[in-house]
Amino acid sequence: MKYKSFKDANKIVKRSTFLVTNPEENKYKWNTFFGNNNPIHLELGTGRGEFIINMALTNPKINFVGIEISEDQLVKAVQKLNNKNIPNLALICADAHDIDKIFGKEISTIYLTFSEPWPKAHNEKNRFTHENYLKLYDKIFKKDKHIIMKTDNKGLFQYSLQTLSQYWYVFDKVSLDLHNDENPVKSNIMTDWERKCVQDKKPIYYLDASFKG
């Protein structure tokens, strides 16, 4: 999807101390980069950063990396971070297709929050739960595989339940209506989009899937 262009997005993003400009250089060295041995969690398609920034703030013992392809989106995350000191957060402007060039087997959890649904069949390969992506994740998961997904798109959710189960993931939680679930997810970080869905009484679909290696 093409997002509205933001004047000087490129320059503003590059100036941010949160942006890792040559992320490939940190492959296999992300724990050194963060200066600790805490687990590393990754969000694909970080957008304006609401989710990853708040996750980093509320979970200081976990390192978070957000990958976003669009500078016009990432610039909004960078602006939120102005003058903030969040040592467990890093942002990368890159295509998620390239994550295996950026990470070795270093990642504990992957978040797919409100990912683009790519509803047309000819775009299926772009869905973050397409088999090709699941194979790519195998290259960066440390040991156990762990994916957490939230979406308001039923089609993408149904598709993901199928692809993940065909790939032997086990579901630790599946919710067809996260905000009316009898066992709500503790400390759920909401984005503006999620708040709007809740206001409009649209269900949020949620899954927590893993594969023990």
- Interface residues with ligand SAM (CB under 6 A)? 44-48, 50-51, 67-70, 73, 95-97, 113-116, 191, 193
Q: Closest separation between CB of residue 112 and ligand SAM, Å?
A: 8
Q: Which is nearer to ligand SAM, 106 or 194 (CB)?
A: 194
The alpha helices in 59-169, defined as continuous H runs, are: 71-80, 99-102, 131-138, 154-166
Q: Which is nearer to ligand SAM, 113 or 129 (CB)?
A: 113
Q: Closest separation between CB of residue 107 and ligand SAM, Å?
A: 15
CA distance 130 to 164: 9
Q: How many other CB atoms sit within 10 Å of the CB of residue 118?
A: 19
CA distance 170 to 21: 36
CA distance 114 to 96: 15
Contact in structure between 77 and 49 (CB atoms under 8 Å):
yes
CA distance 25 to 144: 24
Q: Which is nearer to ligand SAM, 26 or 70 (CB)?
A: 70
Q: Closest separation between CB of residue 34 and ligand SAM, Å?
A: 21
Q: Closest separation between CB of residue 118 and ligand SAM, Å?
A: 9
The single-letter code of the amino acid at 87 is P
Contact in structure between 198 and 166 (CB atoms under 8 Å):
no
Q: Which is nearer to ligand SAM, 51 or 64 (CB)?
A: 51
Q: Which is nearer to ligand SAM, 128 or 169 (CB)?
A: 128
193: which 2 tokens? 């989009």
Tokens 């999620």 belong to which residue? Answer: 194
Q: Closest separation between CB of residue 198 and ligand SAM, Å?
A: 14
Q: Which is nearer to ligand SAM, 42 or 164 (CB)?
A: 42
Q: Closest separation between CB of residue 204 and ligand SAM, Å?
A: 11
